[in-house]
Amino acid sequence: MQLTFTRFPEDFFITVYELVGGHQEVLPTQIPDEQWVKPTFKCIQINKNEEDIWVLDEGKETMDARLTGPKKFDPNNTVEENKRILNNVLGAYRPIRVEAAEVKHNDGVQTFGYTLTEEDPLPKVDLEKLVKHKLSPGPKVAILKHMQPVLADDEKTVVKPEDVLILPGARGRKVTILGDNSRASAAMRKIARRSDVVVHEATLPDELKNTAVKRRHSTPSMAVDFAHAVNTKLLLLTHFSARSHPERNLHESLEKDQTYQNRVKKIIATRDFMTVRIPHGGFNENDVQCVGEDDEDKE
């Protein structure tokens, strides 16, 4: 029996990133050049750091995406329209840095956790202070935002960025998604520090902690331990076992348990199609906006 394509366009392109050099890596990784492999591959191998971290930096690709965004930038458009399009594209494609680290799961199965970190947005300018220091808004302010000193309008006094900017500025958002694990590694803890959202599995309830450890899965309390160590604001619990986590009291028991709540600010037991919206600059204190399926109409 041979399985074939009905239709195979030639202009298909796949990039495969391989995280090479993990602890449990066994086989050599390569894509063979055979007849039936028709799509064009680009295989990029990423080696790990000295700190056991794989880094996937977007820089170059992001520039490419900026130039070839989903909306067309046409010289025939009006200037305002073009500005709006460019702003949209630039806003949408803020570069994101992906880091990966290993976590401990079943033997022979290499498991990773990922963190995505957004670029820090540029700090804002206090307009009253601008007038005080005799600076008119213009390209000089843009230079100031990149933390470089600038001469004032009379070109005698030097204006430092600390004088004008509102510091500290906002942080970029950070999301962590872990694979199945019973114990996260030190490297994982390091890269996930102070992330806004952590997605952690909680396969079995706390009563079955021994079996969970045996199967290399974790319980809600273990997830809370990780979240506490990492200092997150929101913990999402997923990967519930159908047998041992009955659907009836799952949300109430997990979200309103006080032993958990003392350690992490907000816990949510997820269900399908639940959406969490992360605002610009990350979550503030006591400010977690969660958009369930039912709340979408109210926006």
Binding of other proteins by 21 (CB under 8 A):
no
The helix (H) or strand (E) run that includes residue 199 is strand 197-201
Please give the Cα distance from 82 to 87 (Å, whole number): 8
By rule CB under 8 A, what count of residues binds other proteins? 94
Q: Residue 267 in 3-state DSSP?
A: strand
Are 226 and 195 contacting, i.e. CB atoms less than 8 angstroms apart?
Answer: no
Nearer to other proteins, 91 or 137 (CB): 91
Nearer to other proteins, 51 or 296 (CB): 296
In the set 177, 190, 206, 263, which binds other proteins (CB under 8 A)?
A: 177
Place of tokens 């025939």: 76
Nearer to other proteins, 164 or 240 (CB): 240
Binding of other proteins by 151 (CB under 8 A):
no
Please give the Cα distance from 58 to 67 (Å, whole number): 14
Write out the binding residues for other proteins, residues 37-76 only, by CB under 8 A.
37, 39-41, 56, 64, 67-73, 75
Binding of other proteins by 14 (CB under 8 A):
yes
Are 175 and 196 contacting, i.e. CB atoms less than 8 angstroms apart?
Answer: yes
Distance of CA 188 to the CA centre of its chain: 14
Binding of other proteins by 197 (CB under 8 A):
yes
In the set 130, 165, 178, 192, which binds other proteins (CB under 8 A)?
A: 178
Nearer to other proteins, 79 or 242 (CB): 242
Residue type, 81: E
Stretch that binds other proteins, among 140-148, 182-190, 222-230, 232-240 (CB under 8 A): 232-240
Please give the Cα distance from 176 to 195 (Å, whole number): 7
Q: Annotate each residue in 85-114 with x if it binds other proteins (CB under 8 A) or - if it does not, as one string.
A: ---x--xxx--x-x------xx-xxxxxxx
Instruction: For the beta carbon of residue 140, count every other beta carbon within 10 angstroms.
Output: 17
Q: Annotate each residue in 272-291 with x if it binds other proteins (CB under 8 A) or - if it does not, as one string.
A: xxxxxxxxx----------x
**Alpha helices of 93-206 — where are they, by DSSP H?**
127-132, 139-145, 161-164, 186-191
Nearer to other proteins, 128 or 272 (CB): 272
